[in-house]
Amino acid sequence: MIAVDGVSKSFGSFVAIEDLSFEVAAGEIVGLLGPNGAGKTTMMRILAGVFPPSRGTVHVAGYDVVKDPLRTRAAVGYFPERVSAYLDMTVSSYLRYVAKMKGFSGSAANSQAVSAMGACGIEAVANRIIGSLSKGFRQRVGIAQALTGEPSVLILDEPTSGLDPEQVADMRDLIRGLGEKRTVILSTHILPEVESTCDRVIILHRGRIVAVDTTGNLSRRIQRAGRIFVEIDAPVEDARQHLSQFAGVSSVESKPRSGDSAASFIVMTEQDRDVRAALASSIVQRGWGLVELRSVAFSLEEIFLTLTQDQEGS
C-alpha cells in the first residue's frame, strides 16, 4: 500500500531525512517513532503530498507521489501535527467543504461529512463554530477531516499530543477502530502509544531508520541479554549466591521485599541463552519454594535508548 524507496529530503543544505526505505502493507497500523527532529513530520508530509522527496521514490496506493500527485492525495487522509481548521466555520460546513475539495459534490459531500462526524463521535457539535471547540474536539474534527472522502490510507502526525489521559485513551480506541479497514501510519514520540496501537514500528533517529519491526519482535531482537524475574522462598543471601553462580547468568539484582518472606531478583543472562528451565529445577532441587519465574521483556523505552546509543556509537 505504501512503498518508500531510498527517500531523502533536504531543506537547503540541511538534510532532514536520508535514504529511508520501508513498506507498509494494506490494513497495517504502523508507528513512526522518534525524538524531536527525527524527521517524522517530514516523511509524513512527503506521503501526504505536501512536498516531493529530494531523492528516491514513494508510492502510495499504487500511485507515484511525484508523477501522480492528485491521485495519490485523493487516496490519503492527513492529520497534521499542527491541528488546523477554519475557525470561523461550523464543523459540518467545514467537513462539507473538505469533501468538496476531495472531489465530492452536493449530497455526496454531505453524506461524507455526516459519516466522518459519526466515525469520530462529533455529531453533537456539528453546528458549533470550530473556534469555540475544546482542544480534544478540534483534534477530532482534524481526524474527521482526514477521514472525509474515505481514503484508504491515513497519515496521522502525533494524533494524541496535547490531550488529557482520558482523551488519549479515546483517541487510541478511535485510531484502532479506523485501522480495522484502512492502512494507518501514525507518528509519536511516546512508546506506550506504539505498543498499544501499532502492529509494526519504524524507529527514526536524525533522519535515518534505526529499526523496522513488529512491536513484539523488536523487543525480542533487542533482548540480546535475557532478563528473568525470579521470586524464591529462601534466605536472601543464599538465594543470591546460588543465582549468581549459576552457569549463564551474568548479573543478579535483588528487588526490595514486598512484606512477605519470599526474595525477588532480576536476573540478567548471557546473550542467547535460555536458562529458565535449568534455573527452575535447580531451585527446586535445593528444596526452596519457587514462587515465580518469568522472563521480562524490555520496554520500547529501553529498546529505543539502546538503539539510538548504538547508532551514535557506530
Ligand X SMILES: Nc1ncnc2c1ncn2[C@@H]1O[C@H](COP(=O)(O)OP(=O)(O)OP(=O)(O)O)[C@@H](O)[C@H]1O
Binding residues for another protein (CB under 8 A): 11-12, 16, 42, 45, 48-52, 54, 70-71, 73-74, 76, 78, 80, 82-89, 97-98, 100-103, 105, 145
Q: Which is nearer to ligand X, 43 or 154 (CB)?
A: 43
Residue 226 interacting entry, from ligand X, another protein, Mg ion, none, C-beta within 5 to 8 Å by type: none
Sites of contact with ligand X (CB under 6 A): 11, 14, 16, 34, 36-42, 81, 189
Cβ neighbours of residue 108 closer than 8 Å, sequence gap 6 or more: 99
N- to C-terminal Cα separation, the chain: 33
Q: Which is nearer to Mg ion, 155 or 168 (CB)?
A: 155
Largest CA distance in the chain: 79
Helices (H), the chain: 40-48, 69-75, 91-101, 106-120, 135-147, 165-178, 191-197, 215-222, 236-245, 276-285, 300-313
Residue 38 interacting entry, from another protein, ligand X, Mg ion, none, C-beta within 5 to 8 Å by type: ligand X
Residue 266 interacting entry, from ligand X, another protein, Mg ion, none, C-beta within 5 to 8 Å by type: none
Residue nearest to ligand X (CB): 41
- DSSP symbols for 239-281: HHHHHHHSTTEEEEEEEPP-SSS-EEEEEEEEET---HHHHHH
Sites of contact with Mg ion (CB under 5 A): 40-41, 81
Least distance in angstroms from the C-beta of 271 to another protein: 43
Residue 84 interacting entry, from ligand X, another protein, Mg ion, none, C-beta within 5 to 8 Å by type: another protein
- The number of CA neighbours under 13 Å toward the Cβ of 261 is 6
Residue type present at position 295: S
Least distance in angstroms from the C-beta of 106 to another protein: 10
Q: Which is nearer to another protein, 61 or 280 (CB)?
A: 61
Cell of 177: 477502530
Single out the residue of 143, 173, 176, 177 nearest to residue 157, CA to CA: 143
Cβ neighbours of residue 48 closer than 8 Å, sequence gap 6 or more: 73, 76, 78, 155
Least distance in angstroms from the C-beta of 35 to Mg ion: 10
Least distance in angstroms from the C-beta of 16 to Mg ion: 11
Least distance in angstroms from the C-beta of 65 to ligand X: 16
